[in-house]
Structure 1
């Protein structure tokens, strides 16, 4: 086994110009020689690896490997590696610890290879056979990068030898691992130099590259120059000042700049680049504030290039009506009538599935007739099939029907056991009879029901709290939020050295006044309130002040999550 340090190699002087994110990355360029092309059947015969930092080679690793099997003659002809050469080489089980240590010596290491799936596939397979954990580092594929930034007219193909010659690499690839890895280093440096003027300055941008930026993207990159490097919301606008797209980021300048680089591959966003005339930044004190503002602006302005969160008013809910004989209805609007609701759902179809789950367990009426004991109507087919007690013709008394309606209300707002037990029992029966499609259909209904019940119960609980203050540690201090009836009312950071009492008093005094309202989402969209809930229940969050009670049912829909997983597994069996 041979380990070389500070081997001579070309220096990419322009790498420093790529910016701090890439300049701080250690690239370990790896190449393998193998007995064949199948990672499951073939074995590794040679390993070569080169560590590069700041465009400069700082270390190398190379060794032959005893594959424990015969090397085919055509492989020997291609690589020059013979059976006698590997006879005294260490097996892969001895090589892996040293190779993985070389690969993980720096916590910011990125694995690089030409046609990376081939090399990483062999390394993962070797780790699996030797019962060694694969560290799963970030991977950059120079073949994919070359295909993205070097069109065919510019190079005749994207083979390693062709690219090494194109970039003037001093080492010629020869199907020996270390030489091929050294050549790949020069190809990587050449590709990074090509990508730098296109705005690819960070690792995430580099890994996202799929095609060169359009001319419109390159021409608009200056729009990010004056933006602050702070968290917040950005709004792309056209020449008339109309909003085109809204997003949020922890670093406004860096995120907006990425839209005008090769890292942005979404077709609609590339099309938008030609329309953008300006960018409006909205600096926020916390990431939660940025997320909430993003949702509010999208819902208000409905920018054409945003796909999600544009129409929260189109959400569907399942409602148990409040008339004398309550029934389940899929609605778009929540009313102040004391009715329980499930949801919200993204589509009426999903809401209908949840409704069907309840109807499977409870014989509620499905007709829309208006009737009373004094004015009965003829029973329908469902009553004749035994799926409804027929209160319409007086067969079921109001008191008996109220029992079913109360059970539905409890399942929606508290313990959903009556629905869960009925559906899981039937799923068991269908699975035992090998009727998996029917079982899967019931599973989907149960999942939709529990998802809506969980969302509604969580939303209703926080919406009932008139005032809540919570805080958790952030990068520059304690991120503190005021939540009132489920709506984010204020957000700020308590910085070191600030008087906590004065800070809290000022924050709560200037926070938005939010009325009580009614229903699960009285003063905000469901999306906003769920962002707030996720933040409040995240690790490290501490409650500072709470007025009223913030509680959820002990036997809630969330408590039945494990049962849902069980039903999913049984219905999906075989």
Structure 2
């Protein structure tokens, strides 16, 4: 049961104390599992096109046979002669046998509660699932073991030339010789299964969970570390791999901590750097989370805090780039790495300097403000540069424009950053149209990318500013079991998260969450209280269907004339008329839905 109230803790990384796990925690021992070993004979190899002619099954547990099931089945179509020769089953033999729709209920009852086993399981399971669906029977969610696949992982070519059932039956000295009759082949598969269990048992496979994730491609040293997952719960949360010095090597999140961590010690994990990390790791710590959003945000914060060497993303949220409208007699655009409380205008944050430079070029296309870096007084006496001669700068350097007139351009620029980007969009559209008409498609694409960088960054900043401007947002969403997922968001930062169980008063739980939630003070800029990635995650969650806003302290809205209204057009325009033919297949990557006024 998830804890009803859970607030993010400043230091959530205390190691879990060692406990004595129960047998349930360790997995289901193979000796306690009831297996149903099944084999089919059919008229061909494709379900729907061919029919089942015989079903044979053996139920075993702990090496003891509990029962057998065998019946011929009338496939409703003639049996091909070569199938009759192979299996010995003729049309006369099945003429009076029941159809598959009459056989399935009895077989499903026989196999109920078992783990299904077959040699080349996709073939047998494919026929049984197909016929169950066709005749309206619910196919149980059986766990399945494929003895052919398992044999390929443990049998070497020196032991057997192939992994056919007959070959394996000889290798393991089966008491029954397979002869293409369903029950005989199922009995032979029982002996093969037990022989394979002896092989994998010596490699540490003792439970069903071990068997399902077993692969001979996994190094013994890696497989031996599976016990690191045994103390983790089957619950959503964050996990941290650590080395023998306690250094955090890798941080991840999952809806099921134990299953996710176990997967690192199986063949499903193929990433080279993660394999190197597993070789170094000596421990795993888990932090259980009440909601998926809490797990995502905890992961971001822990990666930023520890900067694990094997994580590739989100390690340096402090590496941001901003465009700043400087505060001086003749302001200009400057590329900076932090926001200050200096009454300047800002646009960002940008994830890379290159993207910020593209957005700056778009703004210079629309507003002819100076691009030089020299400090200017209110009465400058400098020589104009080449941009002034080209008409791309109003040249305040030689006094041809007053500070007040220049300030009108700056005011329009700051408005474009925070409220209405239309002047920039129109200026770039005109430039792209001219270049396209002259068939200068490569140059048009450069301006298109500049426009995209500006509009997307402006829309993102407006979305973030809308939520960080709210002192508190309390939101809820129904869980699958009828409870409520609750979040307290303060200035864009997740301050508390928890679950109100079904049948309880969610308002009381929300009041408890608010009382214990993290205090978040206002800061400078739209991302002062949290990283941009965290704010994006919060906004993405708030935009989901079914979210209910319970309480709000502040105004959550974006300007109607803001950059978000240009995103859809930006994705679709310039795609054909402004692109070189070789570029026309290229499309802008879509962004998330814009935050509409609430």
TM-score (normalised: structure 1): 0.69
Aligned to 1:78: none
Cα pair distance change 1:550/1:436, threshold 3 Å: same
Which ranges in structure 2 are unaligned for 5 or more consecutive residues? 1-27, 61-67, 76-117, 123-143, 181-185, 586-598
- Of the three residues 559, 564, 569, the one matched with 1:563 is 569
Aligned to 1:309: 314
Deviation of 1:392 after TM superposition, in Å, equals: 1.5
Deviation of 1:253 after TM superposition, in Å, equals: 0.9
- Of the three residues 256, 259, 262, the one matched with 1:254 is 259
User: Structure 1 stretch 537-546 or stretch 150-159: which is displaced more?
Assistant: 150-159
Cα pair distance change 1:308/1:32, threshold 3 Å: farther
SS at structure 1 position matched to 2:324: strand
| Structure 1 residue 332 corresponds to structure 2 residue 337 | yes
Equivalent pair of 1:200/1:263 in contact (CA under 8 Å): no
Which ranges in structure 1 are unaligned for 5 or more consecutive residues? 1-15, 35-44, 64-111, 117-139, 175-181
Equivalent pair of 2:237/2:255 in contact (CA under 8 Å): yes
Deviation of 1:339 after TM superposition, in Å, equals: 2.6
Equivalent pair of 2:329/2:378 in contact (CA under 8 Å): no
| Distance of 2:450 and 2:158 partners within structure 1 | 55
RMSD between aligned residues: 5.5
- How many residue pairs end up in the alignment? 494
Deviation of 1:527 after TM superposition, in Å, equals: 0.9
| Distance of 1:62 and 1:508 partners within structure 2 | 67
| Distance of 1:57 and 1:539 partners within structure 2 | 49
Equivalent pair of 1:459/1:521 in contact (CA under 8 Å): yes
Aligned to 1:492: 498
Q: What does residue range 286-301 of structure 1 map to in structure 2 within 5 Å?
A: 286-301=291-306
State the Cα deviation string for residues 342-393 of structure 1 (Å, max 9, x = none).
2222211111111112112221211111112323322112222221111111
| Structure 1 residue 378 corresponds to structure 2 residue 383 | yes
Q: What does residue range 212-223 of structure 1 map to in structure 2 within 5 Å?
A: 212-223=217-228
State the Cα deviation string for residues 173-210 of structure 1 (Å, max 9, x = none).
x9xxxxxxx9xx99xx99x98999679978xx98x999
State the Cα deviation string for residues 514-551 of structure 1 (Å, max 9, x = none).
11112011111111111111111111110000111111
SS at structure 1 position matched to 2:417: helix
Aligned to 2:456: 451
Cα pair distance change 1:372/1:259, threshold 3 Å: same
Cα pair distance change 1:435/1:282, threshold 3 Å: same
Equivalent pair of 1:148/1:210 in contact (CA under 8 Å): no
SS at structure 1 position matched to 2:335: strand
| Structure 1 residue 536 corresponds to structure 2 residue 542 | yes
Equivalent pair of 1:238/1:276 in contact (CA under 8 Å): yes
| Distance of 2:452 and 2:232 partners within structure 1 | 44
TM-score (normalised: structure 2): 0.66
Aligned to 2:18: none
SS at structure 2 position matched to 1:564: helix
Cα pair distance change 1:558/1:442, threshold 3 Å: same
Q: What does residue range 374-523 of structure 1 map to in structure 2 within 5 Å?
A: 374-476=379-481, 477-523=483-529
Q: What does residue range 140-289 of structure 1 map to in structure 2 within 5 Å?
A: 149=153, 212-289=217-294
Equivalent pair of 1:414/1:555 in contact (CA under 8 Å): yes
| Structure 1 residue 347 corresponds to structure 2 residue 352 | yes
Cα pair distance change 1:505/1:167, threshold 3 Å: same
| Distance of 2:400 and 2:71 partners within structure 1 | 86
| Distance of 2:300 and 2:567 partners within structure 1 | 28
Equivalent pair of 1:147/1:158 in contact (CA under 8 Å): no
SS at structure 1 position matched to 2:313: coil
Aligned to 2:584: 573
Equivalent pair of 2:379/2:399 in contact (CA under 8 Å): no
SS at structure 2 position matched to 1:544: strand
Cα pair distance change 1:47/1:389, threshold 3 Å: farther
| Distance of 1:168 and 1:418 partners within structure 2 | 83
| Distance of 1:340 and 1:31 partners within structure 2 | 76
Deviation of 1:554 after TM superposition, in Å, equals: 0.7
Deviation of 1:154 after TM superposition, in Å, equals: 6.4
Q: Which aligned segments of 4 or more residues in structure 1 are displaced greater than 4 angstroms?
A: 30-34, 45-50, 54-63, 145-172, 192-202, 208-211
